[in-house]
Chain A
Amino acid sequence: MSVEVKKQTTCYHCGEDCQEGKIVLEEKNFCCEGCKMVYQLLNEHGLCDYYDLNNNPGQSQRIAVRKDKFAFLEDPGIAQQLISFRNEEQTHITFYLPHIHCSSCLYLVENLHRIHPGIVRTTVNFTRKETDVIFNHKKISLREVAELLTSIGYEPYISLNNLKAKKPRLPRTMIYQLGVAGFCFANIMLMSFPEYLGLEEAEKNLQNAFRYLNLILSLPVLLFSAQPFYESAWKSLKHRFLNIDAPIVLAIWVTFFRSVFEVLTNTGSGYFDSFAGIVFFMLIGRVLQDKTYQQLSFERDYTSYFPIAVTVLKEEKEIPTALPDIKAGDTLMIHHEELVPADGILTRGKAFIDYSFVTGESLPVLKEVGEIIYAGGKQTGGNMELLVVKEVSQSYLTRLWNQQEKEVPEEKGVSFVHLLSRYFTYIVLTVAILTAVYWWVNDITRIWPAVTAILIIACPCALLLSNTFTNGNILRILGRNKLYLRNAQSIEEMAAIDHIVFDKTGTLTTTHRHDVVYEGESLHKSDLQAISALSSQSSHPLSKALVRHLGRNQLTVSAFEEQTGKGISGQINGESFALGSLPFITGKAAGAEGTRVYVSRNGSLLGHFSFRNHYRNEVNDLLNDLQSEYGLAVISGDNAAERQTLQHLAGKNTTLLFNQQPHDKLEYVRKMQSAGKKVMMVGDGLNDAIAMQESNMGIAIAEDTNSFTPASDGILESGALAKLHRFIRLAKANKQIVLASFVMSIAYNIVGLYFAVQGTLSPLIAAVLMPSSSISIILLTFGSSNLAARWLKL
């Protein structure tokens, strides 16, 4: 029944609230014309299963896509760079469709051929949100394909990034290596059993057959599967640093060559099963740890934000031009909702620029003709013309990025595991030398078996296993809680943090909500209703915030007028109301008191609404929680108007800095680092990007993970911000778990060494000790990291 009630108020297509202004068709409600049109189109082609698979699967179509948005796809030069294959009949292309989010999306997009016969096949890759489209270009053009996808609510996202060379698919080598190692390990195990269980003298031939088969089977492990360890060890030796893989490679080789020696000299069966097993387990750990979030990108640069082409005005004609071909002196036509790709001077139209992507500030800025507009802003005030003064590669935003690239810090810290393994290696080598000396004195024939056995048994593989498995598991727990880390190293970075820097706008505050306070003459209910009705006519963010604050109603507004960036006016119930900036209402120049909207009735000023960014609900608790353990700082590009509120919110000891440029943020991070602090920078916009790169750990806040975030070490969904403290604790637990399992593995090693120094390590003991220690360590790390997560309620 509750579903029934819900259906009456939400849009059948997108699930948005549509109580007011709803459109009813076939007993279904729609919030806007766009949603209704999508429904009609799907209905016409019998694709209404779309709505049965999931409730309200669509994306709101309130904001219509500009008609000529994909006109640039008709330019053969641009199209050529996007198309992956083309013959006389068919064209293959891959689109990135960010709206794909559920099985309905999959169903609809893959049934595209039922809407247009020109589409041959569409295949969705859900994790990458990509769709391979094969179409017959005699029946449908590339532009029409893009528009067709847009018409069903899946607008392809085509950015400048698409022009670059295709990204290589996820490397699969390690998966193959894992498969091969698993195959060899299982078979070697199988063939070692007869010997462990005891073969009779008469079966000598059989024994040899088993041994040689094992030798052959272990070759692929040595030559192919163990390659990642060789590479890593070689790299570390080149940098004159002993990492954990170096002793592991040593152990692998010693095991293998001793086994070969034994088999060839007919003195024993070797340790092939232990050898293959350890490589197999270690590879599993690596694969687990390296599993990354494919759909997220931690390495975005400006090219993935920029459009692939813009409209250039030449001799009164609109020519779509690829972005790299834009030159200084060109006149660009920037349409509503388009990104400004290059620095330029406004020559015609009204510029109302939303810099939220650069600064995190959501309120658009008004620019007059003749003013310079920096790249990265989004035009929200209709069409405008822009005279380019700097090419794309030279513009402010691009330089910001390139600088960032130059200033990428050298290798961030070294994992403590490598340091641990180094001590471990020294100890093992000492033990080996002592044993060698002892046997050299007492029984020279036993040097060789004893020393090799020590090196085999003391391989720090348990340490590596516990590390990779714990990291992999922690990464998954964090991912489940909406913090997506770039890699395992980030966990350690996070555990070491002792100073946290927050950006204010967009990070501590949300861009979607404002706190509204009215000051002035008291308003009647009817006045408030009228103001709300008037604001609902405008799409300005402040008008929307006002409507949300006052509540919607059905009053009709006549003689509505809007002056972009200044204000709105209209007649409601015979009285004229105006809302807007102080100059718009009274003609007087405005002061700098923060964001205000003035209101007048019948020409007389009543008062103003002041708007403040709404702090996320969890911010207070979070900051209170953190300040006892960490140094805190809040850095903002805004003016100091909110200093008091913020100081109250963040506590006395928190550093507050206002009017900070991207470089000031960077300087602050550097200053703290040179004071020996490990700094975490939490930010959201491009203005935080350089500081995030410089900090020990940069976390980008995203409203949802589909939205674009600057390059970072981790992406945190804004809803999970409150858990930040617990995330750091979990990262600290990670280190303790690894240490604990290390102690455990040392216990195993001591048992093994007891046999090894005597030169009596039989393959059977090795074969039992090795997997049982590995598996128990894996269980320990998995169990305790899950326990830690449960303890922290993650």
Chain B
Amino acid sequence: MGVIVLLLIASIAVAALFLGGFIWSVKNGQYDDEFSPPVRILFDDKPSNDKSDK
């Protein structure tokens, strides 16, 4: 009985955590542009070629 209550609280807490994560990601604009992020991550940085030493 006590275990079930504990589990209940835990499960809702975890779910709420995900809900919070979801809301944060929407607010953060992660769904605004679905093209750039997956492409951006594949770009190599080649500082060796870079002459403008930025």
Q: Which residues of A contact B (CB under 8 A)?
A: 44-46, 49, 103, 106-107, 110, 113-117, 124-128, 169-170, 172, 175-176, 179-180, 183, 186-187, 190-191, 203, 205-206, 209, 213
Contacts and interface: CB of A to CB of B under 8 A. Distances in A.
Given A49-B43, A179-B22, A206-B1, A124 B52 contact: no
8 contacts: A45-B52, A46-B46, A103-B39, A114-B50, A127-B34, A176-B26, A203-B1, A206-B1
B12 interface: yes
B32 A170 contact: yes
Interface in B24-50: 26-27, 31-36, 39-40, 43-44, 46, 49-50
A127 B26 CA distance: 16
Contacts of B6: none
A351 B34 CA distance: 45
A125 to B, nearest CB: 5
B16 interface: yes
Contacts of B8: 191, 209, 213
A187 B34 CA distance: 29
Interface in B1-32: 1, 4-5, 8, 11-12, 15-16, 18-19, 22-23, 26-27, 31-32
Interface residues of B, number: 30
Contact of B33 (A45, A103, A126, A172): A126
Interface of B: 1, 4-5, 8, 11-12, 15-16, 18-19, 22-23, 26-27, 31-36, 39-40, 43-44, 46, 49-52, 54
Contacts of B50: 45-46, 114
Contacts of B36: 106, 124-126
Contacts of B19: 179-180, 183
A124 B11 CA distance: 39
B33 A115 contact: no
B17 to A, nearest CB: 10
B11 A127 contact: no
Contacts of A117: 52, 54
A125 B33 contact: yes
List of 10 A-B pairs having minimum Cβ-Cβ separation, nearest first: A46-B49, A126-B35, A183-B19, A103-B39, A126-B36, A125-B33, A179-B22, A127-B33, A46-B50, A175-B26
Contacts of B43: 49, 107, 110
A114 B26 contact: no
B28 to A, nearest CB: 11
Contacts of B16: 183
Contact of B31 (A113, A175, A190): A175
Contacts of A203: 1
Contacts of A170: 32
Given A127-B34, A180-B19, A172 B27 contact: yes
A106 B34 contact: no
Nearest to B9: A213
Contact of B32 (A44, A127, A190): A127
B15 A179 contact: no
Given A116-B52, A127-B32, 5 more contacts: A44-B51, A113-B54, A117-B54, A172-B26, A172-B27
B32 to A, nearest CB: 7
B52 A206 contact: no
Nearest to B21: A179
B52 A106 contact: no
Contact of B23 (A49, A110, A176): A176
A229 B16 CA distance: 25
A747 B46 CA distance: 64
Contacts of A127: 32-35
B26 to A, nearest CB: 5
Given A176-B23, A176-B26, A209-B5, A45 B34 contact: no
B52 A179 contact: no
B23 A179 contact: yes
B51 A49 contact: no
B26 A179 contact: yes
B44 A169 contact: no
B30 to A, nearest CB: 11
Given A45-B50, A49-B43, A124-B36, A183 B15 contact: yes
A190 B15 CA distance: 11
Contacts of B4: 206
A190 B50 CA distance: 56
A115 B23 contact: no
Nearest to B32: A125
Given A117-B52, A175-B31, A186 B46 contact: no
Nearest to A216: B12
A172 B26 CA distance: 8
A176 B24 CA distance: 10
